[in-house]
Amino acid sequence: MIATKKHKSRITVPLFCVLCASLWLNGALRITVTDAQGHLLSGGSCSLLRASEPSSVVATAVTNSEGVATFAEVPAGEYVLRVESAGFKTFTDNRVVVKNDEVVEMKIALAIAEVSASVIVKSPDELTTSVQSGATIAAGNLQRQTLQRLPLATARVDEALPLIPGVVRSTTGEISIKGASEQQSLLLINGLNASDPASGNFRLNLPTDSVETVQVFLHPYTAEYGQFTGGVTQIETRRGGDKWKAELNDFFPDFRFKNGKVVGIAEDLPRVNFNGPLIKDRLYLSQSLSYAIAKNPVRGLSFPVNETKTEAQNYFSQFDLILSSRHTQSYTVGYFPERNQFIGLDFFRPQPVTPNYKQKDFVFSARDHYALNGGLLQIAISLKRFNANVWGNGTSEQTLTPTIEEGNYFATQDRRSRLLEFFTI
């Protein structure tokens, strides 16, 4: 029993000494943080890291309103001190020594961080307007997703073309590609000529809902196309998908208000598009329908003889037939009637003197693709018919005076043009 008690006393005394000694092996670190002018900085973040393991954080502290951060009961040793504050450069001291039973005082002045800014302009994908770089033929592209987001007045493809670099709309309303007029350029829809057969103008009433992609070639020497000196506008229409989908856009009209009352419709552009398989894995349909009406008032004239009126309808259908893995056919039918009343209306030219305009544009195309011996045999035929009429609002003689025009528009014009195209590649 006596020997056992002596053995216990030998263990207890060393443990007590170790505990007491450990309390005296800690120190403290007191940091005062200021800026370059000596102003105290509050809210600064201070971190104490092991010198042997820079990624190991021993303790953290934040400066108070007096710019002071305190690390208490820090084991003696060598540390790395890091001080950070918003708007200032990070301060780092790799040799901070904490001694036993001592308070280490440090004063740190932070330098102001450099201010820099950068702007990065990039196109993350092909959904945005782009100009191909590195290509032998300069071209601008508009994808269907981009056309859907554009705030176009009548949702027609020709209104989106000026968004491509090098394409502008002239004062007469025509499209100019790289300084060339529409007559000097070429318009292709699915690889077939779609310009006005008589004048060569772009009578492009195709709705954006029917378009998959628009590409404008700005180089005047593209032998693949020919028949132009300015640029080529290539449009590919949208085919039907494997599942039926329908879209209804711009259904609600803009009403016309007079004296606080609703008096008819000022503008409206309802559009319907649906596509899907008529026969699964065999025959697909893509159909677009739209109607546009716009009544534009003219300053200086009283209601209701102060407005021009525009009505347009667009019908476009595409059928895609898959006969085999090597043989496909595509058929498109488009009908685009339009009517404009009181063209050129202003204060000096009232409604009876202005002309009216009407056009009917009909397009049909058929394409046959057959993979033959590693190549592609393509046979295409297209028919385009364009009729235009101009007439006045009466049969009276037109009179010109220094102050105003009187009577009726004097000319009547009827134009009918057709274009039949057939080729094989």
pTM of the model: 0.63
Beta bridge partners of 399: 406
User: Whose CA is closest to 216, among 174, 168, 170, 171?
Assistant: 168
Residues sharing a CB contact under 8 Å with residue 146, sequence separation 6 or more, in sequence order:
127, 128, 129
CA distance 19 to 148: 76
pLDDT for position 1: 39
Please give the share of the chain, as a percent, with pLDDT higher than 90: 37
Alpha carbon distance 261, 303 (integer Å): 14
Q: Given phi > 0 = left and psi -120 to 50 = alpha, else beta, which region is 7? A: alpha
If one compares 362 and 372, the residue with the highest pLDDT of the two is 362
Domain with CATH 2.170.130.10 in the chain: 130-237
Q: Which residues pair with 279 in a beta bridge?
A: 283
> How does the average pLDDT of the chain come out, rounded?
83
Task: Quickly state the pLDDT bin for 91 (edges 50, 70, 90).
Answer: very high
Q: What is the DSSP string of 204-267?
A: ---BGGGEEEEEEE--S--TTT-S-SS-EEEEEEPPP-SS-EEEEES-SPEEEEETTEEEEEEE
Q: Indicate the class that CATH gives domain 27-110.
A: mainly beta
232 band by pLDDT with thresholds 50, 70 and 90:
confident
- CA 274 to the chain's CA centroid: 23
243: its two tokens: 């599942």
Give CA–CA dist 109/178, Å, rounded: 60
Q: What pLDDT was estimated at residue 167?
A: 86
What's the pLDDT score for residue 257? 87
Highest mean predicted confidence (pLDDT) among 111-115, 180-184, 206-210, 336-340: 336-340
pLDDT, tens digit, 9 for 90 and up, residues 387-407: 999 999 998 999 999 889 999
Query: Could you tell me the two tokens for 266?
Result: 């000022």
Instruction: Find which of 4-18, 137-151, 190-204, 274-288 is predicted with most confidence, using mean pLDDT.
Output: 274-288
* Residues 219 and 245 sit within 8 Å (Cβ to Cβ): no
Which residues touch 317 (CB under 8 Å, ≥6 apart)?
285, 286, 287, 288, 332, 333, 334
Instruction: Note the CATH number of domain 130-237.
Output: 2.170.130.10
Provide the CB-side half-sphere exposure for 219 (13 A, CA): 12
Please check the confidence at residue 11 and state whether its pLDDT lies above 50: no
Spell out the alpha helix ranges (H) of 61-149. Answer: 144-149
Task: Please report which helix (H) or strand (E) contains residue 396, including its range.
Answer: none
d(CA 213, CA 172): 26
Q: How confident is the model at residue 23 (pLDDT cuts 50, 70, 90)?
A: very low
Residue 77: burial class (beta carbons within 10 Å; 0-12, 13-18, 19+)? middle
* Residue range 204-222: mean pLDDT, rounded: 78
Q: How far is CA 82 from the centre of its chain?
A: 45
For residues 424 and 334, give the distance between their C-alpha atoms in angstroms, rounded to a whole number.
Answer: 22
Residue recorded with tokens 């488009």: 334
Task: For residues 223-244, give the mean pLDDT.
Answer: 80
pLDDT digits (tens, 9 = 90+) for 184-202: 888 888 888 888 888 878 8
pLDDT band at 5 (very low <50, low <70, confident <90, very high): very low
Question: Where are the domain boundaries for CATH 2.60.40.10 in the chain?
Answer: 27-110
284: pLDDT strictly greater than 50: yes
Q: List strand residue ranges (DSSP E) for 239-374, in order.
A: 245-249, 254-258, 261-268, 271-279, 283-297, 307-322, 327-341, 356-372
Q: Which is higher by pLDDT, 142 or 377?
A: 377
Q: Cβ(186)–Cβ(195) under 8 Å? A: yes
pLDDT of residue 365: 93
Residue 66 has pLDDT above 70, yes or no: yes
pLDDT at 241 over 60: yes
**Model pLDDT, residue 164:** 82
Strand partners, 29: 71, 104
CB 109 within 8 A of CB 86: no
- 41 pLDDT more than 50: yes
Q: How confident is the model at residue 21 (pLDDT cuts 50, 70, 90)?
A: very low
